[in-house]
Structure 1
Amino acid sequence: MYLPDGGATNLLGALALLVGSRMRAAVTGPAGAGGALAEALVVLKDQPGVTAEWLRQVLGLTQPGAAHLVRRLREQGWLERRPGPDARSRALHLTPAGVAAARDVLRAREEVLADLLAPLDAEQREQLAGIARTLLRHEVTDRRSLAYLCRLCDRAHCPACPVHAGLREEP
């Protein structure tokens, strides 16, 4: 069967599923659950003091889902709520144990991604990074979409974030 794009769409789709499933499996161990719990740890590590409403929007949760997530983080001893910027809001901050759990999540993520990249040589890795920069830099429309795309990123490894650069380039 002839595919006009050389199969690029199918390959990208398959690669996205592979990367997503491997990352999800990797971060489930340290967080004790996959998905939003691990993502919340990383988001709160890098952006302390956000509200549950902001976290809900970034992670794409319902209001009851966000309340349940905050409760689970508190029950694990990973989160504390402090007074927020106004009388009605509460700022979310990780405890030292929460910061350690976030670091464990990021370490597991890093290991699985390094394993996926292992077959590539240095030139191929740079090509992949360039392609990813091009695709990602145009996907950010505001700070919330930036936080969504980078919700499992280890920001210490990406000081010149190309996703954030795309946001700064917007008129």
Structure 2
Amino acid sequence: MPMKQGEDLRQLVGYQLQRASLIAERDARRALAPFGLSPAKMTALLLIRDNPGCDQTALGQALGINRSSAMRQVNILEDKGLIERRAGRDARTNALHLTATGEEQIAAMLAAINTADRVLVENLTGEEAALLSAMLERIATPSPRSRPRRRSPQA
């Protein structure tokens, strides 16, 4: 029997976002399972596609993970033959690029994940789904008010 959710939980936007996120994550994992990728690795792949030549530090920042975690993501994607490292802007960096295999497979991966997304919002009208997407983008875009303020030096 499902647990009851009281009014306090139902009113918390963060709680509702988390519930929706868990469902979206589960469905995305199922959609990407045939490709052997997690949603995070698919996100990394798309970021590399959209930012050819980026380095793993920039990738880690975009993913919100540290450099060593980004390196693990890159190693896995490289082992799968989806990306390659090329000479970077200096001797310490590598430029990340999709391989021909990555370019070929990304369309099928996107089709699978887009199907999962459509199922996620199937109870919404097209207008509601577009509005939800726009609102989530606004929530996820930091505003100047949400950035921590620097303390002024004390005299």
TM-score by length of 1: 0.66
CA contact (8 A) 2:85 2:94 kept: yes
Equivalent in the alignment of 1:126: 127
Larger-gyration structure (1/2): 2
2:81 is aligned with 1:80: no
Counterpart of 1:93? 97
Q: Give a deviation string over 1:51-102, Cα, whole Å, max 9, x none.
A: 0111122223333322222222222222221222234321100101012232
Q: CA deviation at 1:45?
A: 1.6
Structure with the greater relative contact order (CA < 8 A, sep ≥ 6): 1 or 2?
A: 1
Identity of aligned residues (%): 29
**CA 1:100–1:16: 2 relative to 1, 3 Å:** same
SS class of match (1:92): strand
Q: Which runs of 5+ in 2 are unaligned?
A: 144-155
8 Å CA contact 1:41–1:99 kept in 2: the answer is: no
Unaligned runs of 5+ in 1: 143-171
Instruction: Give the number of equivalent residue pairs.
Output: 138
When the two chains are superposed, the root-mean-square deviation of aligned CA atoms in Å is: 2.7
Deviation (angstroms), 1:27: 2.0
| Equivalent position of 2:38 in the other structure | 34
Q: Residues 118 and 134 of structure 1: is their aligned pair in 2 closer, same or farther, counting only changes over 3 Å? A: closer
Contact 2:121–2:129, Cα closer than 8 Å, also in 1: no
For 2:60, the equivalent position in structure 1 comes to 56
